[in-house]
Amino acid sequence: MTQVFLASRNAKKLAEMQRILAEHVPDIEVLGLDDVTPYDEPAETEPTFEGNALIKARVAVEATGLPSLADDSGLCVDALNGMPGVLSARWSGSRNGSVDRDRANNELLLDQIHDVPDERRGAHFTSAVAFAYPAGAGGVVEHVVHGTMPGRVIREMRGAGGFGYDVLFVADGHELTSAELPPDEKDAISHRGKALREIAPFVAGVLTGL
């Protein structure tokens, strides 16, 4: 079994990464934060998705010794000048569990743009995925890719799949929200899916020594 670490506790993110990496490394095992010895997780203090992803990947590889992936993703709403952006996960300031936090974030977003007409509710998801792995003489090599998914924010939450703002987001060319799409269809168009598919061959090459 070939192991790679993802600096996350989000079971849906872990499953998404497992699905995509398995296309390149069939015996891959994606470990999450609950699968390794606990370590102090870094604060996401950078103003960019790439910066926050790199912070998490660097700390992860140092703490676990495993090739490590980390992502920072968020929703950028045109009517809010690109916010929530890097603050997406903590937009409402809620410290409750992930389900309650997601709902609080979505309810706040709906309230903030309730009077914005449909034609001005454009938005896009963006993701930065960082990969850090041990190199010779104690060094670490880093690699970062990006992905985006354009679309719009609707007026009510729909769907039981996905996570975060998926229940409010409809991608361009679609009528279903990201939370209503089957996982493989969402992977094919999502910001994170695009970034993961781009980085997967690189990760596979490192893990298999190619």
Which residues participate in the annotated binding site for Mg(2+)? 72
Q: Is 72 a catalytic residue?
A: yes
Catalytic residue of the set 34, 72, 100, 187: 72
Give dist(CA 158, CA 70) in Å, integer: 28
How crowded is residue 136: how many other Cβ atoms within 10 Å of its Cβ?
A: 6
Helix (H) or strand (E) holding 15: helix 11-22
Residue list for the binding site for substrate:
8-13, 73, 163-166, 186, 191-192
Helix axes 11-22, 191-208, angle to 10 degrees: 60
Q: Indicate the pairing of strand 68-77 with strand 122-134.
A: antiparallel
Q: Is 7 helix (H, G, I), strand (E, B) or coil?
A: coil
Q: Is 74 helix (H, G, I), strand (E, B) or coil?
A: strand
All residues at 6 or more sequence positions from 196 whose CB lies less than 8 Å from its CB, including other chains: 16, 17, 20, 21, 129, 147, 187
Amino acid identity of 38? P
Give dist(CA 146, CA 174) in Å, integer: 22
Residue list for the binding site:
8-13, 72-73, 163-166, 186, 191-192
Distance of CA 109 to the CA centre of its chain: 19
Task: Report, as residue numbers or ranges, the catalytic residues.
Answer: 72
